[in-house]
Structure formats: structure tokens, C-alpha cells
Amino acid sequence: MPASLLWAVDVHGRVYSLSSAGQQWELGRDAPMEFKRVTAAQQCCWSLGCDSSIYLNVFASDLPVRYKEETYENQRWNPVDGFSERLLPSDRWQWSDVTGLQQQPLHSFQLPSSSWEWEGDWYVDENFEGEPTEKEGWTYSIDFPSTYTKDKKWNSCVRRRRWIRYRRYKAMDTWAKIPSQPMSLPDPFSDISCGGWEISEEPGDRLSLWVVSLQGKVWFREGICHHNPEGSSWEEVPLPGEVVQISCGPGDLVWAVLWEGKLIVREGITRDCPRGLSWAVVECPSPEVGAIHVSVGNGVVWAVTKDNKVWFRRGVNSHNPCGSGWISMVGEMIMISVGLHDQVWAIGCEDRAVYFRQGVTSSELSGKTWRAISAPRDGERSHSSASSQQSAGRFFSGDVQAQSVVSDADSDVEKGSADGAIFTTPEPSLGSPTEPPSNPAVDAPKARIPKVTSDSFISELVSDRDQGKPLKDVPSVTPAVLEEEVIPADGEEIQLCAEEALLSTESRGGPQWSNVDLEEAQTGAVLDLAETCSLSSVTTFTLTLEDGAEEHPMWAWVSGEGCSVDSSSQLNWFSSSANTTSVTQSVQSMSLSISPAQTAAWRRQIFEQLSERSRREMDDFKHYEQAIEQYLHAFINEVTILVPVLNDSKHTFAIYTDERTKQRWPIRVAAATELEMYDWLALLSVSCCESRGIQGPPSKQAIWSITCKGDIFVSEPSPALEAVPYPTPCDQMFWRQVGGHLRMGECNSAGIVWGIGYDHTAWVYTGGYGGGFFQGLASSTDNIYTQTDVKSVYIYENQRWNPVSGYTSRGLPTDRYMWSNASGLRECTKTGTRPPSPHWTWISDWAVDYSVSGGTDREGWQYAADFPASFHGYKTMKDFVRRRRWARKCKLTTTGPWQEIPPIPLIDVTVLPCGAQSSVDTIPLWAISSKGDVLCRLGVSAKTPAGSSWLHVGTDQPFKSISIGAAGQVWAIARDGSAFHRGSVSPQNPAGDCWYHIPSPAKQKLKQVSVGRTSICTVDENGNLWYRQGVTPSYPQGSSWDHVSNNVRKVSMGPLDQIWIIADKVQGSQSLSCGTVCHRLGVQPVDPKGQQWDYGIGGGWDHITVRGNAMEPPRIGLLSQKDTAPPTSSSPLPIGIAEPNGTAVC
Amino acid sequence: MADDKDVLRDVWFGRIPTCFTLNPDEVTEREAEPYYLLLPRVSYLPLVTDKVKKHFLKVMRTEDVEEMWFEHEGTPLKWHYPIGVLFDFHASNTVLPWSITVHFKNFPDVDLLHCPTNSMVEAHFMSSIKEADALKHKSQVVNDMQKKDHKQLWMGLQNDKFDQFWAMNRKLMEYPTEEGGFRYIPFRIYQTTNDRPFIQRLFRPVSTEGNPHTLFDLLKEMCPDALTKDGEEKRFQVVIHGIEPLLETPLQWLSEHLSHPDNFLHICIIPAPTD
């Protein structure tokens, strides 16, 4: 997980941020003024200044925020002038938008605010649907509006061309004021909350910003998206009352607090309507005091009432945004902030410290305990230790105690007994909060005892009680003790218990209960404070508390919405490193089958006779052949790869030898448990490596491959692997697994290896080996890190139309399952679908997926005449069936020799294949971001494989694949399927100067490119492999595409111009394998396209990179062969491909 | 002391050394060598004689080949009986290896069922299992199984996979402890003295008084002649899987441990050797 920021404002209005990887609060020094509130997303932070204006701070990124302005110049032909700007009166404007309806001359384009700058001047677009146009970029047609072609024909009467100009958001990493709207200027703002990024198709693409004005009105900021971070305008949202505070979660939850203390919930928030439709009122937890603050996450709502009590709302989700009931939580807070992964931060009522809720997991959303964040502020390092200890110790321990008592009391009530003995549990030392904070040394360590309390227990206890029932008589006596109590069905009993608790402890005279008095004494003050807050909740603290603030920071506001941590994160925010990683030792239960003494004569007789029978019938005939062949075998030194094959029901792995690779028929070995399977795998893997003398990390020449399960394998190439004409057969390559989980990877001969996960996270290889299930000797001790990956599982909801009830889930008997996979052949229900393997766990709920090719309607449906057919995103008369895709995210956590390179998500990466002369020489590395931006990594060398920063390389359209050759030649594929060559890339000018457009092969859309030493190969969407013909140093763009082969999914060109691919389907003697590593044979300088394929490991292979293998094959073989026995060398048919599957490829 | 589980293994891995010779009347191009094989007792002839067929076809002309069948000392061997039963019934006290004659013509339609493919064997095997479970559990267990579970039983037998078979067969051998056994014991008694192929009737594992029935109780009810009367010389052997269990052996235990994979307890009553 990359570092992200927790934001907070102290009582003086200063903004601080705390990195999830850091240890101290960093002051935002460039703030133009004091701030009242902040609300952060992962890519930016919004704030409310003391001048009641809104400020935006977009975090600097190597990826600029750019916006493409475009306008069309239209011309018509007339016999006199030829094409001219004289149009017919009925024609469109001479300068217009693409539809022609809007007049758009070049000078009409203005920068939206002072935060923007132009990147350059207007220029003509000379790329038309992937094809280069004539110099001036005109496209022709018979008339407006029509389809355009790039060629002028005899009947071309009109023409148009597109002008492009980019503007760039320049106010990165500074607080830029959002210009106020001249017309309907909302009155001064008093609260602000952003969220909603998860309801858009691409997470983070769109943002919802809600603000509250001093008059209690709510405004929604329209049009905030990636390329328009400021948004466009304010829209007022009608309200049932006056709002004092609002909170917007990352998904579709928006709650607000009304002035009188009720809560309102926004309903009808969808992807198409991020503003929602209506409000629903939710009663506040205790009607007498009323709510003062609310904060929502993905599926949780936390609220604070005016008496500073904290409440958790049960049962909140997208379908039921109002939830079902309140649960009282421990702690007294003035505000709460729910962040990513529903993690919770709060500001303590008494000490104004920032608290983090520990133990919040998807199964226990209410968490376990509050823990004070004791990170020092930047600049107060000198006395950091003292202050941190203080803040950690203060108040916190009181909570723990109160909580523990309550939980005991609860269990007591549950049991229906009033046994006082149970109250003896709290140890006196825990009751230290009465001690003044001048004794931090004693105080702090105890406060950090991670006491597990019973919120979860409570939520179980109270399943669905009447929420209307107030807690009238309960808290008046002992608010501190019962603060975590749920609204009781029978308050008396609990009160009795509490009193008895007091009595019993008082009688013992223990000091541990004095905190009750303390809390009571504070209540008054707290209420005053709350009063102040409610009336003018936005005023920052006056300076009267200056003294206290000197000792420890006094916080006024915290925002965790952009802070990506979860309960498993290791945080350095707390003064001691209470490492909670519990070493869980899995002890396998031994089931011993103990046979009882079976002495019955009949039983003994049977045993004896059976033995006798075996002797009689078998002992003398052991040399006879068995009728049924029993045993499979493979010799350890013949094993070429061990592949884990894990699914829900079976823990198996596949063993291949070269022969079995030929047959596509591995030995499958099943183990009883996953643990046992990995034990076997690790053991066998070590043995196989040992028998081949392989140990330690992979070499720089290693070939890396990745399966569709994300497992990573590496093979050490023999020098003869690329020999011509007799290379090592591909199926004899030995592969061993490396820990980690990737979707693709790229290596070079300097040992630089980068990978990209399914969630587009970039990873760099650390030089280690092992990880994952490899332990001990099979794994390096350092350079192994935690790695996570996230991907979506998709299922389809299918419906058929009938004249009576329209579309329903009642299909024809011949139809596919109404809930199915993409093919419709397998039933996949929401409840029955499980993550891909036990390693994956769900991290989200099922949600309609709108990003399906072909488009969808507003509810995500796609229509077609019948199953199976091609679906489209709108309904026509002929459509009788429809379907929609549901997605659910799952997450995997493993370990491996990989380190994350935040923050930009990537879809492709390439490294110059050859090694550098020295370990500090920089090596070019290019990548494509998940949004299609081309990036060039600076500072990459053998010593620092991660590099330092990204340099953005501008393109006119999103790209999807990129590759750099040994001479620094950069080729890329754009999303429209055409190729581009980057000119003038050199060590001095690592990003080159401009793109040359290379048309794709006729009627084909390219999808991937790989450049070797001099060869360039591409793969198109129909699985064809193309070789670029005519490339010379003086003409690096080449002349034409030559077809090499079909049946290709992916290509990797090496520094020797070797060609390796992932073939789509390969037929073996026993079975067919999809996704197979293949090696092109016969590739020579005179024949760079090679002759034919040699088939290697396969069956679910997704990716290969051979760009590290720069080992020249031994030349002796070739020479001696020429000298001695010139064979029938008309066609150099290499050995090792004599299998009968030669027709599958090519 | 051995475990009851070992009995299951011993039963499963029982092998009969067999010598297959081609019927001398068959027309061959050259002389056929005999073929020696270890036959699993619990399997069926068509499942284990692929190699035999292949061996003899080498010397035959294809036009002379009809459906293969086996015969022992003039008796055609029924493929739908387990091999162990065939051996115990026809060849118990003969010299090993068991000598079987292989025929490729003159199929004895009167005595034998045709078996064109192994799916015939599968159908027969599965119907036996279902019949047995009908007796044991009113078919409840076998009906609760899925198609793949049935397949697992069959594949276990076909590929001689003890663990695979018993992982599933275990379920068929369960019974409510309070009832002390199955509803009825699935058994078949084969006799040489009778024209009927075998005896199969309803018989409970526990008597009405609650005492476990023994092998003796079963035989007394089904074929009292097989029992040796007091003072009389032993006339018959009661053979299950090549052994003679004591008559006091509880029937329920026998059914659980000495049943064939088809879940039937096959009991052969054969004349005792005279010397």
C-alpha cells in the first residue's frame, strides 16, 4: 500500500498532514491563511479557509492534469475558390464543435482559472482514426453532417479539420482558491466534504464535493473529474431543514446533520446522478441531545451527539443508506472522520488529540479501541518524546477501562446474574487517568495495552431493537461507564448493574473508579463546549488554549478520507512500536487412529486368513504384470516445472517433464490441505533446483514468465537456447517459481525487473528470491516484502423479455442460467460465486459494472436479440434478452522479492534490453499509465532499479503498449490500434522529441509491441504477429508490416532479436493448452522473422519476457558443423519439434 | 494387531495370478503365447483384460475376431460377477495360476451377457451399488450423492484407486449407531448345488431381540444344507474373498469390510476338498 496522507487542522487553523508511512505531522507551510476544515481525497485535498472560501490542493504527480481543447474548422468547395471558408447559409459555423451546433472560434477558448496554463499553441490534428492524414489534416465528405474520409474524392464537397490545444493545471501542491461564482454566489461556507469517487467507472475519476453554507444551505460542486479538478459550478441542493454539517463517503453515502440535531440521508445517489434525488430523515441516537456531527464511509456511519458521545450506525449499505440502528460507542469526541476502508479517526473531546480506531475490519466495522496518534509535529522534534508519550497516555487509558467494565457488565446482564465478582477484573494501574499528565512515564505504556473490547459482541447482542426507545434513564448516573452501552431494552437492569459496580468498587475503595467522578465533572464543561460548537461550529479555537497547545497539539479537525490504511497496516503513529503481528503457528492436528484391542476370534481369523491368502495367491507371482497400471512417475531431475493449481475444492499442483510438456498432460498431485500442498511444492522445488544446481536469486539473463493466476516463474537460459540451428528445445527449460503476484513483467540484462499487478500497481524486483510459500532455504532472508493485488470477479445477470411482465429473470428452458459467467455455460450466483482461489478475499460487495465493451444503459443493461449474441447498450424493438455485468473486488496478500513503486498505476512498462556499462549508468525505462499517459522513468540504473521520478511524455491520445529497443528506439501502440515511433530518443534527451505515426496493418488494430535489438514486432487484436520491415538506422520508422504468424497473444523480443510469444492454443498429443510459451526458431540476421515455432511450457501462461537474455549462443557448433558434416542444409530444421502439433501455430 | 482398515486394503488389493491361453480352436497366424496377469479380485473381467485382448489379437486375423469371452475348464465366466467370486466359485482349490481360456468366437449367448463396452460394466456396477443402498439405507445415501460422486466410485474401481473409491464408499457404509447396522444386509450366496444363480433375500443385521446376526444365522436361514451338522464331516466351504471366516463373525461387520465394491457381500458355498 503506498503512503497516503491523513490531514488535520489544529485549533489555530494550521493544516498538517501525516503520512501513513511517516512518523510526524508535516505543517502545510504554504497555506495562504488559517483553515477551518479540510477534506481529503487520495489525489487532492479541499479546505475551507477562514475567509469561508474553498481552497483546493491538487497533489503533485509525475502525471500532469491536462485537458485537450478541440475545435473544428469547416470548409465547403465552390467552383470559384475551391475549398474556402465561405459556407452555405444552412451550413454549420465556420469554427464549431464536432457536432457543428456550437460556434467555437479559436479565440473563444479561455483558461478556466488562473490555476491553468496553455501547454502550447493550437495545432492541426493529422491523425484520423489511427491513419495519418495529408499534411493539413483535412478530412472530406459529401456534406455536413456525414462520415468523413481522409482521402479527397470527386464528390467531396465539404471538408473539416480538427485543431487541438492542451491546457495544463499548474497549481499543483499549492492551495488554490476556487473562484467564487459571480452570479449566484453561495453565502459563506461552513462545512465541506468530498467523496463519491467509487461510484464512477474508473475509481478516482470523478469526485463529489458537498459544502454547507452558514445559512444552512447545501451546495454540490458539479463537474469535478480528473481533468477538471476544480469542478465547474455550484448547484444548490434543496433541503428539508438547515444543515450544519455534511459528510460524503467514497461510495454513494451522504449524510448531513440538521441544525436541530436530526440527521438526513441522501437517497438515489447513482453513477448517473451523483447528487442524489431526495433526503430521508433519520432520528438521531438520543433525541434529547441531538447530533452535532456525522461521518460516513463505504458502509458505515459514525455520529457524534451534542454531549460528545460517539455512535455507530448498524446495517448501512448502498441498498439501505439509512441503516437500521444506533450503537453507542466508547469515547467522547468532538468530531469523527471515516476514511478509506471504513477506517475511523476522531478528535478527543477533552484532550483534542487525534485518535485512530484500531481493529476496524470488514467483519468488525466498529473496530475495537481508540488509540491516540502521538506523532510529533514537524518542528517540535526537540521534545517529541515527551509530548508523544503524554498524548498517548492521556485519557486513552480511561477509555480502555470504561470499556472493559462495560463489556463485563454486558456479559453480566446477558447471563442474567448480578455477580459482583466479575467487576474485580480492572487492575488499579489501568485507572491512571486521574493522575495528572505530569507523570507520563508511568502513564503512557499502560495506556497502550491493546485491550480487546467487545463492540462486536455488543453488535451481536443487539440485533434489532426498537430504535425509537431513548436512553432516558441510563446515562444520567454514570455516563462514562455506560457510554458503550446500546440502547437498552430494559434500562433498569443495566442501571442496577452499573450501580452495583460502583458500589462494589467503592466498598473496596479502589482508586480505579475515580475516573467516573472525573468524567462526570467534565460533562458540564463538555456540554458547554458542545454548545459553542453547535452555534458557531466553524470558528477556530481562540488562543486561550495556547498553553495547552504548547504541551501537545490541540486539533480541531481531521480528515482521513484520503488515507489508505487498514487494520493490518503497520503504522508508526504511535509512540511505541507495539508490534501486533501475531505469529500464528498453525499446528496440524494429528488424528491418530487408535484401534481398540480387537481380540475376537472371528476377527483374528479373518486377519490371519487374509494374510495367508496374500501369501498363497500373490507371493509367488510378483513377477506377473498388474492388470491395471498403478503408478505415475517423474524423476526429480527430469521435472521442468511445478505449477500450483489451486481452486476452491482442490489443492493440487501439476508436475511437468519435457515429455509431459509435449503431451500437454502433466501429473496432477493433490494434497489434503493447502498447507500440505505448499509443503510438498516447496520441498519438491528445492529438490528440483538442487538436482540442477540452481540456487539463489535468478541471474540477470533469466527469462521471466507469468501465469494467468499471477504466479511468477523464472528460467535460467542455457547459452544454447538461442543457438542456430540447434537450440535447446523449449520444453526442456526448467522453470522455478518466485514469490509474488503479477500480471506482467519486463526485465533486461542489467538485472532490472519491473512488474505490474492486476490492480495496475508497479513493482520492482529487489534481488531476492523465494517469498510466497517458499520458506527457509528456498527464500532469501532479506528483500522479501508484502505484496498485495486486487482484481474484479465478474458475473452476468441475464433476463428475457416476455409480453406480460417485460424483462424478467424467467428465461426459456433452453436459455442460459439467469446468473452466469460470460459464456452463460456456468451458473454463477451472487452468493455462490467465490473468489478465484482461497488466497483471495472479497473486499467489496457486488456492484453493477458499467464499463463493459459495447456500452450499457443507465442501469447497466446490455441488449441483444438472443443469447448468445453481441450485446449493445440500448434497447431496440428486436431485443428480447438483456444482460448486465456485476463486479466484485477481491484482494490477495502474499510476499515476494518485489517493492511497490507508487503512486501512478501502470498498464505497460518496458526497459532497454541491454545492460549498461556500469551500475550507475541510467537505463531508459518507459511506461504507460492506466489512463494511457506515456511516462519516462528517470534515474533507473542497475544500482537503483526503481528510479526516482516520472517524466510525462505528451501524446494526442491514450496509449496502451510501449517498448524500447536496444538502441533506444521507442515504439508504442495507441488505443486506436495504430503504432507510433518516438523520434530522437538519446541519453541526452531521454524523452525524445516527437511521435511519428505508423499506420497499422490493413484492417487490423494493433495491441502490443516489442522491440529487440533491431527487430520490431507487434501483435494485433486478432492474434496476428507482425514484423516491421525496412527499418534502418537512417529510416527507423521502417516501411511495412510483414505477417509472421497467427495464434499469438503476446510477443517479447530479446536483445538478440530472439522472438518469444505466448501462443493462444497449442495441441499436444494428449490435450490442448491455451496460453503457451513458444520460441521462434531459425531467427538469424538474414531471416529475422525465423522459420517456425518451438513449443514450451503452457496451459494458462499469460506473459513472458526474454529481454534479459543477451547471451550470444556459442558459435563453435555452427562452425564445426560447417567444417565437418554439412548436412542437408537446405532447410535448417531444428530438432526438438518433431511433435505432431506443428499445425497449431502458424 | 491390525486395524479393520487394513482389511479393506487387503480385500481391495487382492490379486489372482492368472494364465490366459487362447482357445486352440481359434484360427491363428502363428502360435499364441500364454499371457500372465495379476487380476484384481474386486474388479470385473472386461476392465482388466485390455492387455489380454491386445496380446492375442497380435496373432489373429481381424476377420476371425468376434467378441472376446473367457472360460475356465469348460465353464464360461460371467463378466458381471466380480473376478474374485468367479475364482472362488469355479477354481478355489485348483493349482495357481488360474487358467483361463480366451475365446474370440462362438459366444455362448445362453450363458453370458454381451459386453460391448465398459459402460455396460459401469451401468451394472452402479445399479448394484444402488440396489445395495436401497437395502441398506432405502437409497438415501446414494441418492444424496452427486453425479460426480458416482463417477468417483466407478473411476476408483476402474483405475484401481483405493483412496478415491473409499473416500466416497465410506458414506455408503455409514449407519445410525442406535440401529446397530444397515436396514438389510446386501448379500448374494452362490451355490454349486443349485440351479439358481444366487440367493438374495432380505436379512437384517440385528435380530428382533436386538442381538447381532452372525454369518451362521444367515446361512441357517438361507441355505441350512451348507452348514456342517454335529458329528458330520464338513461338506461345504463358505468362502468370501478367498477366505473362510468363522461362522460367528457378525454379519454387519462382514458387510462393512468384506463387501465387494458393488457393496454386496458375495458368499460362495463350494464343496470342501475331499482329501
- Residues B153-173 have pLDDT tens digits of 998 898 888 888 998 898 899
Report DSSP letters for A881-933, one per residue.
EEEEEEEEEEEEEEEESEEEE-S--EEEEEE-SSPPSSTTS---EEEEETTS-
- CA-nearest of A565, A88, A19 to A297 is A565
Q: Is residue A792 predicted with pLDDT exceeding 80?
A: yes
Q: Is residue A100 predicted with pLDDT exceeding 50?
A: yes
Q: Which range (A183-187, B115-119, B193-197) has the least confidence? A: A183-187
In a domain, A272, yes or no: yes
Partner residue facing B51 (CB), from A611, A627, A630? A627
B48: contact with A, CB 8 A cutoff:
yes
Partner residue facing B48 (CB), from A605, A613, A627? A627
Do A855 and A968 belong together in one domain? no
- pLDDT tens-digit profile of A139-152? 888 887 778 888 88
φ, ψ of residue A590 to 5 degrees: the values are -95, 120
Average pLDDT, chain A: 76
Quick check: A1027 and A1041 in contact, CB under 8 A? yes
The domain in which residue A798 lies consists of 792-892
In a domain, A54, yes or no: yes
Average pLDDT, chain B: 88
- pLDDT tens-digit profile of A255-295? 999 988 899 999 988 888 888 999 999 888 887 888 999 99
> What is the end-to-end Cα distance of chain B in Å, rounded?
33
Distance to chain A for B212, nearest Cα, Å: 14
Quick check: A905 and A950 in contact, CB under 8 A? no
Q: In this structure, is the dihedral angle defined by the CA atoms of residues A445, A446, A450 and A455, taken in order, positive or negative?
A: negative
Do A874 and A979 belong together in one domain? no
A610 contacts in chain B (CB < 8 Å): 7, 10-11, 241, 243
Quick check: A299 and A342 in contact, CB under 8 A? yes
Q: What is the pLDDT of residue A915?
A: 62
Do A973 and A1072 belong together in one domain? yes
Q: What angle do CA B216, B222, B223 make, to 5 degrees?
A: 85
Which of B37, B38, B239 to mutate: most A Cβ within 10 Å?
Answer: B38
**Residue owning grid cell 476544480:** A230
Mean pLDDT to the nearest integer, A520-528: 36
Angstrom distance (rounded) from CA A110 to CA A108: 6
Which of B249, B256, B257 to mutate: most A Cβ within 10 Å?
Answer: B249
B4 contacts in chain A (CB < 8 Å): 595, 598, 603
B245 contacts in chain A (CB < 8 Å): 602, 605-606, 609
Q: Is residue A355 predicted with pLDDT exceeding 60?
A: yes
B33 contacts in chain A (CB < 8 Å): none
Angstrom distance (rounded) from CA B241 to CA A612: 12
Give the Å distances, CA to CA, from A1026 to A717, A1000, A1040, A1050, A1092: 25, 10, 9, 11, 14
In a domain, A205, yes or no: yes
In a domain, A296, yes or no: yes
Do A812 and A859 belong together in one domain? yes
Do A673 and A743 belong together in one domain? no
In a domain, A516, yes or no: no
Q: What is the pLDDT of residue A252?
A: 87
Report DSSP letters for A221-245, one per residue.
EET-BTTBTT-SEEEEE--SS-EEE
Do A815 and A927 belong together in one domain? no
The type of residue at A850 is: Y
In a domain, A452, yes or no: no
Q: What is the pLDDT of residue A200?
A: 67
Query: A819 pairs with which residues across the strands?
Result: A797
B155: contact with A, CB 8 A cutoff:
no
Query: A243 pairs with which residues across the strands?
Result: A258
Helix (H) or strand (E) holding A460: helix A455-461
The type of residue at B33 is: E
Residue bearing the bigger pLDDT, A1135 or A658: A658
Which of B11, B83, B246 to mutate: most A Cβ within 10 Å?
Answer: B246
- pLDDT tens-digit profile of A1101-1143? 999 999 999 888 876 544 444 444 444 333 333 333 333 333 3
Do A191 and A259 belong together in one domain? yes
Q: What is the pLDDT of residue A479?
A: 36
A630 contacts in chain B (CB < 8 Å): 160
Partner residue facing B246 (CB), from A595, A601, A611? A601
pLDDT band at A1070, cuts 50/70/90? low
Maximum C-alpha span of chain A: 121
Do A907 and A969 belong together in one domain? yes
Distance to chain A for B216, nearest Cα, Å: 12
SS3 label, residue A790: strand
CATH assignment of the domain containing A212: 2.130.10.30
Q: Is residue A830 predicted with pLDDT exceeding 80?
A: yes
Q: Is residue A198 predicted with pLDDT exceeding 70?
A: yes
Cell of A1146: 502458424
Q: What is the pLDDT of residue A776?
A: 66
In a domain, A925, yes or no: yes
Angstrom distance (rounded) from CA A134 to CA A127: 9
Do A807 and A888 belong together in one domain? yes
SS3 label, residue B196: coil
CB pair distance less than 8 Å for B242 and A617: yes
Distance to chain A for B51, nearest Cα, Å: 7
SS3 label, residue A1091: coil
Q: What percent of chain A has pLDDT over 70?
A: 77
Q: Which range (A514-523, A726-735, A884-893) has the least confidence? A: A514-523
In a domain, A101, yes or no: yes
Do A877 and A955 belong together in one domain? no
User: Kind of pairing, strands A369-372 and A354-358?
Assistant: antiparallel
B244 contacts in chain A (CB < 8 Å): 609
Quick check: A793 and A836 in contact, CB under 8 A? yes
Overall domain count for chain A = 5
Do A1024 and A1039 belong together in one domain? yes
B2 contacts in chain A (CB < 8 Å): 595, 607
CATH assignment of the domain containing A736: 2.120.10
CA A715, A718, A722, A726: dihedral to nearest 10 degrees?
-120
Do A666 and A714 belong together in one domain? no
Mean pLDDT to the nearest integer, A102-106: 88
Name, in order, each residue with C-beta under 8 angstroms of A956's C-beta and a sequence gap of 6 or more: A68, A125, A127, A164, A995
Domains and CATH numbers, chain B: 14-103 (3.10.20.620), 117-174 (1.10.246.190), 177-275 (3.10.20.90)
Report DSSP letters for A605-625, one per residue.
HHHHHHHHHHHHHHGGGTTSE
Distance to chain A for B26, nearest Cα, Å: 24
Angstrom distance (rounded) from CA A272 to CA A860: 11
